[in-house]
Each structure stands twice: as C-alpha cells, then as structure tokens.
Amino acid sequence: MRTWSLLALPLLSACAAAGVANPVQTTVLGTSAVSDSANIAPLPAAPDNLGHESFGILLNDTRGGFDVLPVTENDLLNEAATLHAQDMVENDYLSHTSLDGRTVGDRVLEVGYNYSFVAENIAQGFSDQDTVVDAWMGSPGHRNNILDPRAVEFGIAQEDSTWVLLLGAQ
C-alpha cells in the first residue's frame, strides 16, 4: 500500500540565504513524502550550477553527519526530477502536484521507478546547491526527507532557480 503526505513551507529569506542580489525575496520550499507502510511570482533565472556528482557528495556528507547511510544517484529519479522542474518553470508554478493533478508518486512511476518509498523536496530562488541544501536542512520537513533512512537513491534537477530533489527506494 502506498501512502503519501505533503508539506509546503513558504520561507521569507534575505539575499544571503537565497543567493541572489535582490535584498529581500520570497523563497518557497516544499516537501512531499510517499511511502509503502500555489502559484507564485516568477523569480530571476539562476545559472545552472548543478553538478550531479558534487551534489551527491554534498548530500551524502550531509546524511553522513547524522549517521545515515549514503544514497546513490538514480537515472530514473533524475529524469522525474528534471521533468517536474522543467514543467514548473515552463508553466510558472511551484507545487508537488503538477497542474494536471499528478503527484510525486505518479511522476516517478511514469518514468519506470517502481518505488517502495519516495520523497520530494522542491525549492525556488536558490542559485547553487550549497544554499538550497542549507535551506532544506533548516526546514524540519525537508530535513526529515534528506535524513530518511529508507532512502537509498536520489535524483536531482535544477531548472533556472527551481530545484527538485527526489529520494527513493525500490
């Protein structure tokens, strides 16, 4: 049986936390977890600062600091994350639910990832992986997803300043 929960957290942050030149901006973060047992104003485009290998190192260093086993990169989760990030940017929204009603569970199944556990963190307004991971770790729901011991694989995508992190197990 697959169940899911959804948590969205708006966060007002200063430019240092968001990594942009605007003195104050709204940064939106969201988490969604699925396990077996809002339209927003557009933000300025950010450069593509995503290196999958370096993100994996950062993610596993973060998990390791809490005695959680490392996760490995999964191409199917990368694909699902990329498709969702692109959809959110192209259609100007930030949500765990696609405009056509699909959830994170639906999206990973569509790319062939037959999950027993999947969690999704999303964020917008961050220009690099260090600041987005720091922001996620400062939010209880996002932190719980990153540190969830059920996760054994991850996928990551950045489209402009929109980020999608998927953590899962098959």
Q: What is the CATH number of the domain that holds 127?
A: 3.40.33.10
| Amino acid making up residue 87 | D
* Total domains in the fold of the chain: 1
> Measuring CA to CA, which residue among 51, 57, 56, 5 is closest to residue 30?
5
pLDDT in tens, 40-80: 344 444 444 457 888 999 999 999 999 999 999 999 999 99
Helix (H, G, I), strand (E, B) or coil at 38: coil
Predicted TM-score (pTM) of this structure = 0.75
Q: How confident is the model at residue 32 (pLDDT cuts 50, 70, 90)?
A: low
Structural domain of residue 11, as residue ranges? 2-169
